Amino acid sequence: MKQEKQIIILIGFIVILSGFASLSGIFSTGGPGSFEYESIRGETVQIYGEGLYRHMSADVAPQGIAQDYITFFLGIPLLLLSLFYTRKRSLKGRFILAGTLGYFLVTYLFYLVMAMYSELFLIYTALLGTTFFAFILTLFSFEVNRLPTVFNESTPVKTAGSFLILNAIMIALLWLGIVVPPIIDGTIIPTETEHYTTLIVQGLDLGLLLPLAVVSGILFIQKKPMGFLATPIYLVFLSILMLALVAKIIAMGLLGQNIIPVVFIIPAIALTSITFAALVLRSIETHVSDNKKTENIS
């Protein structure tokens, strides 16, 4: 793999920093406890008031803690395991590595721009930088033009690509259902904004992540080389992200919040994404021929 040494060093930093950040979120204590806060818009927001996320709302902070569990107990082990198989020249391992790095990149991008300022600001900054460069270097290690030849005829091109497109449309409609009505009725600001500056998740999803899913799905259906690069990576990323959302829903349910119907929808999307990721990766041929060597990519 190209730039293997640099990627290993970056992943070492990611494991250490994300381990520290996630454990800090899980086990940090202290603070005044839950209290009400009047936002700049004059709305009353219930603040969590404890631990690392003490200045975040009572709705959002538990979700951050739930995602920390997924990052520590699933993300980090998967990152290390996929790196191990990538060094064994496994193409499947490299796709999983890229998808997992994508999860870390998006996670700490959100933590940096959405989480209220805390003592981990520089840690989140470092994680954004290291995950970005590790992700980009891993993408550059693929021989994109050769990728269509390494997937066999059982690859679920149409169904997996259609799933990415359909899922993106569904999520986009959900977010537009939050954003558009206040614009129409003149109130402008959705209640979900709470005391934050803007709707970070919805904005980045609508502007970046969902269009990327649609483009990946279309290119995959068309059997373009970039589709064979983007779709397996996106499916791995989406699978981990959906599991994090399942953990968030469980956390909200334990706090007595209404989690119907998302408690059924999100696990179904997670299961579908995991299934397609497994099917696509399984369809990779065991060996491909290189000009200078035969490389095991199973």
The answer to whether residue 273 sits within a structural domain is yes
The answer to whether residue 46 sits within a structural domain is yes
Domain count, the chain: 1
CA distance 121 to 231: 32
Q: What is the pTM of this model?
A: 0.94
pLDDT at 295: 41
pLDDT at 286: 67
Q: Answer yes or no: are the C-beta atoms of 234 and 212 closer than 8 Å.
A: yes
pLDDT at 287: 54
User: Residue 59: what are its φ and ψ, rounded to 5°?
Assistant: -80, -40
pLDDT at 176: 97
The answer to whether residue 298 sits within a structural domain is no
Bridge partner residues of 287 (DSSP) = 296
The answer to whether residue 297 sits within a structural domain is no
The answer to whether residue 271 sits within a structural domain is yes
Strands 287-289 and 44-47: unpaired
CA distance 100 to 281: 14
Digit-by-digit pLDDT tens for the chain (298 residues) are 779 999 999 999 999 999 999 999 999 999 999 999 999 999 999 999 999 999 999 999 999 999 999 999 999 999 999 999 999 999 999 999 999 999 999 999 999 999 999 999 999 999 999 999 999 999 999 999 999 999 999 999 999 999 999 999 999 999 999 999 999 999 999 999 999 999 999 999 999 999 999 999 999 999 999 999 999 999 999 999 999 999 999 999 999 999 999 999 999 999 999 999 999 999 998 654 333 333 443 3
The answer to whether residue 296 sits within a structural domain is no
Domain that holds residue 64: 4-290
CA 1 to chain centre: 24
